[in-house]
């Protein structure tokens, strides 16, 4: 199978977007092309992978701008999503289901 890939939009980004479903192991970084990274877990197409270690409270940077804040330390190669970061602009992001994105603070009939 060909090597799995992700895309780094801006050289300042500390995350990249998975262009394939990623399995643990080598991932080729395309785009602004920092060094390649090793995925530490399965990461689905379209989700973010940490290009380096991101400390708790540190900005999540994509498109060269902060898009979120790490709520816990994130290892290089880890899946970056609702379980380990929150939005800088949407306070509800910490109340969304990690798999579906459905609001957990809303009762559905």
CATH number at residue 9: 2.30.130.110
> Is 8 domain-assigned?
yes
Residues constituting the chain: 109
> Is 103 domain-assigned?
no
> Is 100 domain-assigned?
no
pLDDT confidence of residue 14 = 97
**What is the reported pTM?**
0.81
> Is 108 domain-assigned?
no
Label residues 90-102 b or e (16+ Cβ within 10 Å = b). Answer: eeebeebeeeeee
Q: pLDDT (tens digit, 9 = 90+) per residue, 93-107?
A: 555 665 656 666 666
Q: Which residues of the chain have pLDDT under 50?
A: none
Q: pLDDT (tens digit, 9 = 90+) per residue, 43-53?
A: 999 999 999 99
The number of domains in the chain is 1
Q: Give residue 14's domain range.
A: 4-95
């Amino acid at each position: 199978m060909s090597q799995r890939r992700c895309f780094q939009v801006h050289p300042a980004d500390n995350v990249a977007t998975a262009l394939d479903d990623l399995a643990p192991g080598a991932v080729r970084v395309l785009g602004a092309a920092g060094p390649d990274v090793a995925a530490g877990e399965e990461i689905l197409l379209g989700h973010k992978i940490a290009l380096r270690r991101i400390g708790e409270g540190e900005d999540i940077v994509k498109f060269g701008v902060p898009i979120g804040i790490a709520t816990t330390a994130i290892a290089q190669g880890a899946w970056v999503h609702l379980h380990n970061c929150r939005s800088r602009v949407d306070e509800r992001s910490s109340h969304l289901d990690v798999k579906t994105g459905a609001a957990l603070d809303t009762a559905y009939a």
